[in-house]
Amino acid sequence: MNPLERAGARPGPAFTVTFDGRPVEVLPGQTVAAVLWAAGVTSWRSTRGTGRPRGVLCGIGVCFDCLVTVNDRPNQRACLVPVRPGDVIRTQEGTGHAH
Protein backbone atom coordinates (compact mmCIF):
# COMPACT_ATOMS: atom_id res chain seq x y z
CA MET A 1 0.00 0.00 0.00
CA ASN A 2 1.12 3.52 -0.84
CA PRO A 3 2.22 5.47 2.30
CA LEU A 4 -0.03 8.40 1.30
CA GLU A 5 -3.03 6.07 1.22
CA ARG A 6 -2.10 4.52 4.55
CA ALA A 7 -1.84 7.94 6.21
CA GLY A 8 -4.96 9.25 4.53
CA ALA A 9 -2.92 12.13 3.13
CA ARG A 10 -4.38 14.09 0.27
CA PRO A 11 -1.83 16.54 -1.13
CA GLY A 12 -3.11 19.40 -3.23
CA PRO A 13 -2.69 19.40 -7.00
CA ALA A 14 0.81 19.13 -8.42
CA PHE A 15 2.43 22.11 -10.08
CA THR A 16 5.61 22.75 -12.06
CA VAL A 17 8.82 24.64 -11.30
CA THR A 18 12.06 24.71 -13.25
CA PHE A 19 15.45 23.40 -12.23
CA ASP A 20 18.35 24.48 -14.43
CA GLY A 21 15.84 25.18 -17.20
CA ARG A 22 13.95 21.87 -17.12
CA PRO A 23 10.42 21.45 -15.76
CA VAL A 24 10.03 19.49 -12.53
CA GLU A 25 6.72 18.39 -10.99
CA VAL A 26 6.09 19.37 -7.38
CA LEU A 27 3.56 18.48 -4.70
CA PRO A 28 2.46 21.26 -2.34
CA GLY A 29 4.50 21.40 0.84
CA GLN A 30 7.70 19.96 -0.59
CA THR A 31 11.04 21.64 0.03
CA VAL A 32 13.48 22.35 -2.78
CA ALA A 33 15.62 19.42 -1.57
CA ALA A 34 12.66 17.01 -1.60
CA VAL A 35 11.71 18.11 -5.11
CA LEU A 36 15.24 17.67 -6.43
CA TRP A 37 15.69 14.27 -4.78
CA ALA A 38 12.36 13.10 -6.23
CA ALA A 39 13.60 14.24 -9.66
CA GLY A 40 16.78 12.17 -9.23
CA VAL A 41 19.05 15.16 -8.58
CA THR A 42 21.45 14.60 -5.68
CA SER A 43 23.89 17.47 -6.18
CA TRP A 44 23.05 21.10 -6.94
CA ARG A 45 25.96 23.12 -5.64
CA SER A 46 29.71 23.15 -6.13
CA THR A 47 32.21 24.18 -3.48
CA ARG A 48 34.01 27.51 -3.82
CA GLY A 49 37.60 26.31 -3.90
CA THR A 50 37.60 22.93 -5.61
CA GLY A 51 34.21 22.83 -7.36
CA ARG A 52 33.21 19.58 -5.63
CA PRO A 53 29.51 18.62 -5.87
CA ARG A 54 27.25 19.06 -2.86
CA GLY A 55 23.61 18.35 -2.01
CA VAL A 56 21.84 17.57 1.26
CA LEU A 57 24.02 16.62 4.22
CA CYS A 58 22.13 17.28 7.46
CA GLY A 59 18.66 17.87 6.00
CA ILE A 60 17.61 20.14 8.88
CA GLY A 61 19.18 23.50 8.05
CA VAL A 62 22.23 23.28 10.31
CA CYS A 63 24.90 22.93 7.63
CA PHE A 64 25.12 24.84 4.37
CA ASP A 65 25.91 22.03 1.92
CA CYS A 66 22.52 22.23 0.19
CA LEU A 67 22.73 25.86 -0.97
CA VAL A 68 20.82 26.60 -4.16
CA THR A 69 19.67 29.67 -6.06
CA VAL A 70 15.89 30.21 -6.02
CA ASN A 71 14.33 33.01 -8.07
CA ASP A 72 17.76 34.67 -8.46
CA ARG A 73 18.36 34.59 -4.67
CA PRO A 74 21.58 32.66 -3.99
CA ASN A 75 22.48 30.82 -0.79
CA GLN A 76 19.04 29.38 -0.07
CA ARG A 77 19.11 26.19 2.02
CA ALA A 78 17.26 23.67 -0.14
CA CYS A 79 16.24 21.58 2.87
CA LEU A 80 14.31 24.52 4.38
CA VAL A 81 12.84 26.43 1.43
CA PRO A 82 9.29 25.41 0.47
CA VAL A 83 8.72 25.36 -3.27
CA ARG A 84 6.06 27.64 -4.74
CA PRO A 85 4.42 27.57 -8.17
CA GLY A 86 6.61 29.15 -10.82
CA ASP A 87 9.85 29.00 -8.81
CA VAL A 88 13.05 29.05 -10.86
CA ILE A 89 15.68 26.92 -9.14
CA ARG A 90 19.29 26.84 -10.31
CA THR A 91 22.45 25.00 -9.40
CA GLN A 92 24.67 27.26 -7.34
CA GLU A 93 28.33 27.60 -8.21
CA GLY A 94 30.66 28.94 -5.53
CA THR A 95 29.07 31.84 -3.66
CA GLY A 96 26.21 32.15 -6.14
CA HIS A 97 27.16 35.75 -6.93
CA ALA A 98 28.63 36.84 -10.26
CA HIS A 99 32.32 37.75 -10.04
CA distance between the termini of the chain: 51
* Phi, psi dihedrals of residue 83, rounded to the nearest 5°: -85, 140
Tens place of pLDDT per residue across the chain (99 aa): 666 676 776 778 999 999 999 999 999 999 999 999 999 998 888 877 888 888 888 877 788 888 999 999 999 999 999 999 999 999 987 666 654
Rg (alpha carbons) of the chain, rounded to whole number: 14
The one-letter code for the residue type at 61 is G
What is the structure's pLDDT at 99? 44
What are the beta bridge partners of residue 76? Answer: 68
- Whether 27 and 34 have beta carbons less than 8 Å apart is answered as no
Q: For 41, which DSSP code?
A: -
pTM: 0.80
Q: Which domains does the chain have, with CATH numbers?
A: 10-92 (3.10.20.440)
Residue range 29-57, pLDDT digits in tens: 999 999 999 999 988 888 778 888 888 88
